[in-house]
């Protein structure tokens, strides 16, 4: 009986295609250079899936980062995240797979070419979606999992109306109405901060979570101390929706950079543009603005809606210790 209780209290594993993760936790890819080898390796060492963000870096740098991540987490689970909107998406995926990436996550669109590359390399491909119908479409296209990202996530957003739980409920409604079943794992992202949130996710039938903001605020994330301090000190009111140059809304801190760029009365400096995105308004360079914030704290700081609830910068090990403890406490409270 005691053993059974102990097993029930433990977080389950997550299987995506041929990838087996001890824990159902994916660290969200965070561009530009916020989630690199150190963070991805630390997450992998704790039993999660560590993701290096590929958008905004070149294929060579990505290759090196993934090799470094495996040096820090031999035999671990390291993947990469790339936006479909990035010109070099295909080359990044090829480089990542050559370095041993075990999971490719694609957001902000879909690429058949990338899917084919993953398929022939035998590497699972997960698609980020923000509408229930797209989950079934992703499965039909051959995705091994869907990451359902809701309106409360950090970064570029595919919806401003539904959180991941609501989108997942819609999937269940479609399943009932059409008598079909989503046959690939659904992973929820956006506003998941603690073990109680993970329990809620698993209770409704999803397979795991993807967390961004909590992992950005760790010692291992590559954001500079000023970036982390700005987020730790922010309030709910400081986190706003911006119209990103890529033509999608994004969730960011309302700092001086944002205030100046979105104020029509303040003259804008001429931007250097390398044409890295397929479509871009070029009001400023989002990749540069993200990287600058990551280096100096001045630029675009992407954060999730609930990031203001995170009040400390801790180690990845401590994040996992808390998540497991909170999950176990949530189960015990319910007296399973
Ligand atoms: C700083 C930052 C950068 C991000 N960059 C990306 C990215 O490059 N690609 C992507 O698919 N998602 C990106 N995201 C979204 C995260 O991967 C994750 O899905 C999201 O943050 C989850 O919401 P949470 O922050 O509330 O946990 C980013 C999020 C943050 C906070």
CA neighbours closer than 13 Å in the CB half-sphere of residue 26: 36
Would you say residue 181 lies in a domain? yes
Q: Write down the pLDDT at residue 270.
A: 67
Whether residue 196 is predicted with pLDDT greater than 50 in this model: the reply is: yes
CA of 174 to the centre of ligand 1 (A): 27
Give which of 228, 230, 227, 254 is closest to 240, Cα–Cα. 254
Contact 11, 26 (CB under 8 A): no
Our mutation pick for probing the ligand 1 site, out of 32, 89, 128, 154, counting the most ligand atoms within 8 A of Cβ, is 154
Interval 240-256 mean pLDDT: 94
Do 109 and 203 fall into the same domain?
yes
Do 16 and 116 fall into the same domain?
yes
For 145-156, what is each residue's pLDDT tens digit? 999 999 999 999
Q: Which residues contact 143 (CB under 8 A, 6 or more apart)?
A: 115, 125, 126, 127, 184
Would you say residue 291 lies in a domain? yes
Do 149 and 237 fall into the same domain?
no
40-54, 200-214, 270-284: range with lowest mean pLDDT: 270-284
Q: Write down the pLDDT at residue 2.
A: 47
Do 149 and 55 fall into the same domain?
yes
Whether residue 289 is predicted with pLDDT greater than 50 in this model: the reply is: yes
Do 146 and 84 fall into the same domain?
yes
Do 183 and 76 fall into the same domain?
yes
Q: Write down the pLDDT at residue 119.
A: 97
Do 211 and 280 fall into the same domain?
no
Percent of the chain past pLDDT 70, that is, above it, reads 96
Which has more confidence, 324 or 279? 324
CA of 41 to the centre of ligand 1 (A): 17
Q: Write down the pLDDT at residue 148.
A: 98
Q: Which residues contact 192 (CB under 8 A, 6 or more apart)?
A: 164, 198, 201, 209, 210, 211, 214
Interval 207-218 mean pLDDT: 98
Q: Write down the pLDDT at residue 7.
A: 58
Would you say residue 302 lies in a domain? no
Would you say residue 301 lies in a domain? no
Whether residue 1 is predicted with pLDDT greater than 80 in this model: the reply is: no
284: confidence class by pLDDT, cuts 50, 70, 90: confident
Do 235 and 328 fall into the same domain?
no
Would you say residue 78 lies in a domain? yes
Do 177 and 242 fall into the same domain?
no
Q: Which atom of ligand 1 is nearest to the CA of 82?
A: 9
Query: What residue numbers bound the domain in which 276 lies?
Result: 225-296
Our mutation pick for probing the ligand 1 site, out of 25, 26, 30, counting the most ligand atoms within 8 A of Cβ, is 30
Would you say residue 279 lies in a domain? yes
Our mutation pick for probing the ligand 1 site, out of 52, 212, 232, 289, counting the most ligand atoms within 8 A of Cβ, is 212
Measured from CB, residues less than 6 Å from any atom of ligand 1 are 28-31, 34, 53, 55, 81, 83, 107, 128, 149, 152-155, 189-192, 210-213, 216, 302-304, 306
CATH value at residue 158? 3.20.20.70
CA of 212 to the centre of ligand 1 (A): 5
Whether residue 6 is predicted with pLDDT greater than 80 in this model: the reply is: no
Quote the pTM value. Answer: 0.96
Interval 191-204 mean pLDDT: 98
106-115, 144-153, 156-165, 234-243: range with lowest mean pLDDT: 106-115
Would you say residue 58 lies in a domain? yes
Do 214 and 230 fall into the same domain?
no
Count of domains in the chain? 2
Would you say residue 70 lies in a domain? yes
Q: Please report the sign of the dihedral spanned by the C-alpha atoms of residue 163, residue 169, residue 172, residue 176.
A: negative
Distance, CA of 287 to CA of 303 (rounded, Å)? 15
Do 110 and 245 fall into the same domain?
no
Do 206 and 274 fall into the same domain?
no
CA of 81 to the centre of ligand 1 (A): 10
């Amino acid at each position: 009986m005691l053993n059974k209780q102990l097993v029930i209290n433990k977080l389950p594993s997550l299987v995506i295609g041929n990838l087996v993760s001890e824990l159902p936790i994916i660290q969200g890819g965070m561009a530009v250079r916020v989630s690199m080898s150190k963070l991805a390796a630390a997450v992998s060492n704790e039993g999660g899936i560590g993701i290096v963000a590929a958008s905004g870096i070149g294929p060579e740098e990505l290759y090196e980062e993934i090799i470094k991540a495996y040096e820090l987490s031999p035999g671990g689970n390291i993947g990469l995240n790339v936006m479909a909107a990035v010109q070099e998406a295909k080359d990044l995926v090829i480089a990542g797979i050559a370095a041993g990436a075990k999971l490719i996550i694609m957001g902000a669109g879909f690429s058949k070419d990338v899917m084919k590359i993953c398929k022939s390399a035998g590497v699972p491909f997960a698609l980020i979606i923000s509408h229930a119908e797209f989950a079934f479409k992703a499965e039909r296209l051959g995705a091994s999992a869907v990451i359902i990202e809701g309106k409360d996530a950090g970064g570029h957003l595919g919806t401003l109306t539904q959180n991941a739980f609501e989108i997942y409920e819609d999937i269940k409604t479609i399943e009932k109405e059409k008598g079909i079943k989503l046959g690939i794992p659904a992973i929820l992202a956006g506003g998941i901060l603690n073990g109680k949130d993970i329990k809620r996710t698993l209770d409704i039938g999803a397979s795991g979570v993807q967390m961004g903001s909590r992992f950005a605020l760790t010692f291992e994330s590559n954001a500079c101390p000023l970036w982390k301090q700005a987020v730790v000190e922010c309030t709910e009111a400081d986190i706003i929706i911006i119209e990103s140059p890529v033509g999608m809304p994004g969730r960011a801190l309302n700092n001086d950079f944002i205030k100046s760029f979105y104020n029509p009365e303040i003259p804008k400096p001429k931007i250097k543009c390398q044409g890295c995105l397929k479509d871009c308004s070029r009001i400023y360079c989002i990749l540069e603005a993200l990287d600058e914030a990551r280096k100096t704290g001045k630029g675009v700081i992407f954060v999730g809606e609930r990031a203001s609830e995170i009040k400390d910068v801790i180690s990845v090990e401590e994040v996992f210790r808390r998540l497991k403890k909170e999950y176990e406490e949530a189960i015990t409270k319910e007296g399973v």
